[in-house]
């Protein structure tokens, strides 16, 4: 009998390991982390994240405006990103039908460049889409991407990989 056990010991060890692994609890009681509060996006290849933001949601027009700010304590360089979107879950390509739009402002050494995408009341400028994935009475979440145009200098800026998860 010992000879049989010795002969098949590697198989027995393998089976024991399988049984032990299957019976081991891999329970993780840690809660799933929530998406961070704030906004993030990529511009000129650089990822930006901020939890410095403001929101407004006038009840008259059923729109939400979210404004994220970077480097607000720096007097020489800062930037601001503003999103306008309907206060409803959905996908909103920029244009007169959706009233969705975005603005990216880059300021350095007291000079600002303003890149706008959306409908200005007469024409569509730039392009983009905002996707509202979730909205509650106290929070709005989603994604965005757009190409804004600085109409003074005819320069463009592409904002990609945008996300927002902000309180209302």
For residues 8 and 89, what is the distance between their CA atoms, to the nearest angstrom?
61
**Block residue for tokens 């509060």:** 37
Model confidence band, residue 76 (pLDDT cutoffs 50, 70, 90):
low
Tell me if 67 is assigned to some domain.
Answer: yes
Model confidence band, residue 124 (pLDDT cutoffs 50, 70, 90):
very high
Q: Please state the rounded mean pLDDT for residues 152-158.
A: 91
Count structural domains, the chain. Answer: 1
- DSSP annotation of 35 reads P
Strand extents, DSSP E, 4-154? 38-43, 46-50, 53-56, 63-70, 77-86, 90-93, 101-108, 111-119, 124-125, 127-135, 139-150
pLDDT score of 22:
37
Tell me if 17 is assigned to some domain.
Answer: no
Model confidence band, residue 113 (pLDDT cutoffs 50, 70, 90):
very high
* 56, 62 Cβ separation under 8 angstroms: no
Tell me if 70 is assigned to some domain.
Answer: yes
Q: What is the pTM of this model?
A: 0.75
Residue ranges making up the domain that contains 106: 38-167
The phi, psi pair for 11, rounded to 5°, reads -70, -40
Tell me if 27 is assigned to some domain.
Answer: no
Q: Mind listing the pLDDT tens digit for each residue in 9-44?
A: 333 332 333 333 334 344 444 443 445 789 999 998
Tell me if 132 is assigned to some domain.
Answer: yes
Tell me if 19 is assigned to some domain.
Answer: no
Tell me if 64 is assigned to some domain.
Answer: yes
Tell me if 16 is assigned to some domain.
Answer: no
Nearest to 149 by CA among 102, 109, 92, 108: 102
């Amino acid at each position: 009998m010992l000879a049989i056990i010795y002969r098949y010991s590697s198989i027995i060890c393998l089976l024991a390991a399988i049984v032990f692994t299957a019976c081991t609890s891999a329970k993780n009681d840690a809660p799933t982390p929530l998406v961070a509060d704030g906004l993030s996006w990529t511009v000129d290849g650089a990822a930006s994240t901020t939890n410095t933001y403001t929101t407004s949601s006038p009840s008259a027009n059923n729109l939400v405006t979210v404004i994220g700010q970077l480097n607000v304590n720096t007097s020489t360089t800062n930037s601001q990103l503003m999103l306008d979107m309907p206060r409803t879950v959905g996908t909103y390509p920029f244009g007169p039908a959706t009233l969705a739009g975005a603005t990216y402002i880059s300021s350095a050494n007291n000079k600002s460049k303003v890149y706008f995408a959306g409908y200005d009341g007469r024409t569509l400028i730039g392009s983009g889409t905002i996707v509202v994935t979730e909205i509650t009475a106290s929070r709005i979440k989603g994604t965005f991407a757009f190409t804004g145009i600085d109409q003074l200098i005819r320069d463009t800026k592409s904002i990609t990989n945008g996300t927002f998860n902000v309180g209302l």
